[in-house]
Amino acid sequence: MKEMLYLDYNATAPLLPAVINAMTDTFKVYGNPSSIHNLGRQARALMECVRNKIANVLETEPAQIVFTSGATEANNMALNGFLQKNAKIIMSAIEHESMNQTIPNKIMLPVLKNGQIDLDQLGKILAEERSHHQAPLVVSIMLANNETGVIQPLKKAVEIAKHYNAWIHCDCAQALGKIPFSFKDLEVDSLAISAHKIGGPKGVGALILNENLKLPSLIIGGGQERGRRAGTENILGIVGFGTAIEEIFRQPWGQIRKLRDTLEKRLKDQFSEIPIYGQDSPRLPNTTYIGMPGVSSQTQLMAFDLENIALSSGTACSSGKVKPSHVLKAMGIQDKAAGETLRISLGWTTTQQDIERLIDVWCRIYRRQTNKIPHVA
């Protein structure tokens, strides 16, 4: 059997070697960072060093960073905190389930066919809400979509939101490291990030808050994280997070983009009918969302798995279920077409040889399932 070809980086990235080394060394540091003795101070020093690293990279103050168990908790913490301020939540239709399921009575912000939010509708919704009441308003928009890779026009959205004195929350889990941004530059009020998307460990992330924004804690029972998130901090994970956030910007994203573009062009040259969702919008450099007409996502996943190629039907946070993507449905794609799509997400271990192998297998599966004959140049 051929070696496993991993092309599911948006689900989780393999641990970077430097992260493994840093975490291995940290096993020796077992003190509780809330303890005042020497071992506790050692642990706290490591944690605060990472807090400073993240603050430096994302242009914020260390005191504004709250360590969490990941972006899901950070998103929950932010949105539930806003709800406790009696805010009304306006949320894009393509948000991650960690936000989608958190707010049952949200106001849905539609997206255009290209996968970007409808800025005109955002302005209309905010104007309508503001004209009827003065309750706090929150706009929740991810920076880059985890399925299509489409980058949202966040700066324009922030301008519109600020005009109506609305808060802005942004899920940046997929964007971190792949495209340049900072908390200062985005001018949002809260921002969620995660370690395992960038070659760090699972189970650690952070919420960054505007210094003037005070949100109630989601988890109570201790004074950790300046009283904003109870529970002993995950020092091992935090150290891995700090190393990953240093290493991720050294990865060859320009080369990764070229590999992604080569993959799309080669498949399109052979089968012009295949859809690539979000292709006409700015996207993350590593992500492509490709339909295989007439072949279900489930069938594709099984066929690729038999070839020892790891792909995904979309988000990896739905208990392994394969179902039509809510992101594609929001873009106006019918259920049948949405159910024939796989997400391919490349990373720093991906090579030209990997792309050649993927193209060969993709074409063989498509021909076998549909009797399609590729175009001859």
Distance (Å, whole) CA 177 – CA 40: 31
Conformational region of residue 184, where left means phi above 0, alpha means psi within -120 to 50, and beta covers everything else: alpha
Rounded to an integer, what is the distance from CA 168 to the centroid of its chain? 17
Q: How many CA atoms lie within 13 A of 372 on its CB side?
A: 21
What are the domain boundaries of the chain? 5-13+252-370, 17-249
Q: Are 146 and 163 in contact (CB under 8 A)?
A: no
pLDDT in tens, the chain (377 residues): 689 999 999 999 999 999 999 999 999 999 999 999 999 999 999 999 999 999 999 999 999 999 999 999 999 999 999 999 999 999 999 998 877 777 888 999 999 999 999 999 999 999 999 998 888 999 999 999 999 999 999 999 999 999 999 999 999 999 999 999 999 999 999 999 999 999 999 999 999 999 999 998 888 988 899 999 999 999 999 999 999 999 999 999 999 999 999 999 999 999 999 999 999 999 999 999 999 999 999 999 999 999 999 999 865 554 455 677 999 999 999 999 999 999 999 999 999 999 999 999 999 999 999 886 766 55
Strands 137-140 and 107-109: unpaired
* Chosen CATH of 17-249 out of 3.40.640.10, 3.40.1360.10, 2.60.40.10, 3.40.50.300: 3.40.640.10
Residues catalogued as catalytic: 317
Task: Note the pLDDT of residue 2.
Answer: 81
Per-residue DSSP letters for 18-62?
HHHHHHHHHTT----TT--SHHHHHHHHHHHHHHHHHHHHHTS-G
Distance (Å, whole) CA 11 – CA 7: 9
Task: Note the pLDDT of residue 319.
Answer: 42
Instruction: Please give the structure tokens belonging to residue 182.
Output: 């900072």
Residue type, 305: D
Q: Are 298 and 341 in contact (CB under 8 A)?
A: no
Reported pTM? 0.94
Hey, what CATH topology would domain 5-13+252-370 get? Aspartate Aminotransferase, domain 1 (3.90.1150)
Q: Are 244 and 178 in contact (CB under 8 A)?
A: no
Distance (Å, whole) CA 52 – CA 110: 37
